[in-house]
Chains A and B, each alone.
Chain A
Amino acid sequence: MKFWIGAALALAIGVGLPLLPVNEYVFYAGYVVLTYVVLATAWNILGGYAGYVNFGPPAFFGIGAYAAVVLFKWLGAPLGVQIAGAAFMGGAMGFGVGLLTLRLRGIFFAIATVAIIFIMETLMVNWRYVGGATGLQLLRPQVELYASYTRMLFAVIAVMAVASVAIARYVQESWIGRGLRALRDSEEAAEGCGVPTLRLKLVACTLSGALMGAAGAPMPMYLSFIEPASTFNLAYTIGSLGSAIIGGMSHWAGPIVGAILLGSLQQIITVTISNEMNVLVVGVLLVVFVVAAPEGILGLFRKVLGRTSK
């Protein structure tokens, strides 16, 4: 019940805040932070629960963004349809990639997912319909209710963030989550306990891909532009993976904490220092957390709470 009260509150703030006379930059920066909440939450379903480290978020995010552009350019589809199409494409790619790569383990799986980014980027660079290497300028449609398109996109990504967290929480607490944890700890023992490991990994990969694809859908309209180099940027890998590691991978709340912390910090550094400094800060934070707190901020909390309760 607590979760649903929190989710309703987050939804109310996410949808209601853009209606208030708040500085536009809050929504401009907040959109990016919430995109990372969706990406990190999606990444954690496969990477955190199942232990399969996916370096390919830009591929899923990118295919979602391009699916949205194609639907917009071809049919003039509204944003809701673009997001649904992007989720379908991301999920389909997750399923396909899973089928081809999930028999690989550890570093081999991780490397295979990196390759997908370059394959997708090369395809888009050579597809003239979506602008090829030079990209495509997009004209935002008129927006109702909200004062600007950016405010509307903030509300949309807030709804998506709440939905993705609810899905991740369901997965974690259901029989799927228990099976994924079992196969993360020992795939052979999990099979020996009747867990259909390949099928569960496919479910996780498809769900994770669908959510990442959906996260990519509003991005072209947010930027009013799309081009392959920035869409398939490895920064999305670092953002999603880094957020989950920093927040904590064993619980659905970890990626939220990590993404809000990391995303906000990046936005502050971008404005006050420089964009390049971002990467350095993320790198240092990742090293610190991997070495000093491998279970992330949530793990640190648990340790502190454990000590005080003794």
Chain B
Amino acid sequence: MSELLEINSLSKSFGGFAALTDVTLAIAEGERFGLIGPNGSGKTTLINCVSGMLRNEAGSIRFSGEEVRRLPAYQRTRRGIARSFQIPRPFRSMTVLENLLVPYQYVGHLRDDEARAQALEVLRDLGLSQKAEALSSTLSQVELRKLELARAMAARPKLLISDEAMAGLSGSEVDEVLKILFDLNAKGITVIMIEHIMQAVMRFSQRVVCLDAGRIICEGAPESIVKEPEVQRAYLGA
């Protein structure tokens, strides 16, 4: 498998605080990749740098062989990097269907009728078709999480970054979201999962990286990484 995302010596500071220090990692095409670490370890900062929400970082971010570090976020989305947000950010004045029309129009450049047909298909796949005409501000927590993923899918990504898509969900809802992510990966989409629910990360990921205080402290298969003393120390403070 060739590398889809290559991050080299990435560092990002906020004033005097180093949120990321010299992070280097590569993610292969079609991989299911888990990113873990305690609160404040730099996970969201890392994906904000990858997706373009944060800029002016040092180092290199190559996507599909192209340096994307200087590109604005919308250009990175158009090249195939899509993400969901930790705290769902639906377009609240729009219906669920309209939420999906935005990426279809701006990334896929589809006509309205084509975009609607494809959006309805995605909503059906995710079990949201009955809510298509509902205002997104009326959705439940799990529906909002699904909408985030549906909207990311509508951007036709090569790489999907799922930022704590299961936070606050019940066990069965976690299973639902996990199934969606597995299905997406089966379609060839590379997935980065950032999650605090360790069982979900262990079930989903082929490879896991653990961050602590902005540095990679450990990398490996899910079953081995939880046994690493450094990971246990980072989580438990032992």
Contacts and interface: CB of A to CB of B under 8 A. Distances in A.
Interface of A: 175, 178-179, 181-182, 184-186, 188-198, 250
Contacts, number: 79
Contacts of B107: 193-194
Contacts of A195: 74, 102, 106
Interface string B132-171: 0000000000000000000110110000000000000000
Contacts of A189: 85, 89-91, 151
Given A193-B151, A195-B74, A182 B89 contact: no
Contact of A178 (B52, B78, B102): B102
A191 B72 contact: yes
Given A178-B105, A185-B90, A197-B74, A192 B98 contact: no
Contacts of A186: 89-91
Nearest to A196: B74
B93 interface: yes
Contact of A194 (B74, B85, B92, B93): B74
B41 interface: no
A167 B67 CA distance: 39
B72 A179 contact: no
Contacts of A198: 72
A175 B106 contact: yes
Nearest to B136: A185
B163 to A, nearest CB: 11
Nearest to B152: A192
A191 B53 contact: yes
Interface residues of B, number: 28
A208 to B, nearest CB: 19
Interface string B11-46: 000000000000000000000000000000000000
Interface string B96-122: 001001110111000000000000000
Contact of B106 (A179, A185, A188): A179
The 10 residue pairs across chains A and B that have the minimum distance between CB atoms: A194-B106, A194-B107, A191-B73, A189-B89, A186-B89, A193-B103, A185-B91, A194-B77, A193-B102, A191-B74
Contacts of A188: 53, 73, 85, 89
A196 B102 CA distance: 11
Interface of B: 51-53, 72-74, 77-78, 82-83, 85, 89-94, 98, 101-103, 105-107, 151-152, 154-155
Contacts of B53: 188, 191-192
Contacts of A192: 51, 53, 73-74, 77, 82-83, 85, 152, 155
17 contacts: A175-B105, A175-B106, A178-B105, A182-B94, A182-B102, A185-B89, A185-B93, A188-B89, A189-B91, A189-B151, A192-B51, A192-B74, A192-B77, A194-B74, A194-B103, A195-B74, A196-B106
Given A184-B93, A193-B106, 9 more contacts: A179-B106, A186-B91, A188-B53, A191-B53, A191-B74, A192-B82, A192-B152, A194-B106, A194-B155
A181 B93 contact: yes
A269 B145 CA distance: 53
Nearest to B103: A193
Contacts of A185: 89-94
Contacts of B155: 192-194
A181 B94 contact: yes
Contacts of B52: 191
Given A175-B106, A192-B51, A194-B103, A182 B82 contact: no
A178 B83 CA distance: 20
Most chain A C-beta atoms within 10 Å of own C-beta, residue among B85, B89, B94, B152: B89
Contacts of B93: 181, 184-185, 250
Nearest to A175: B105
Contacts of A175: 105-106
A182 B91 contact: yes
A181 B135 CA distance: 14
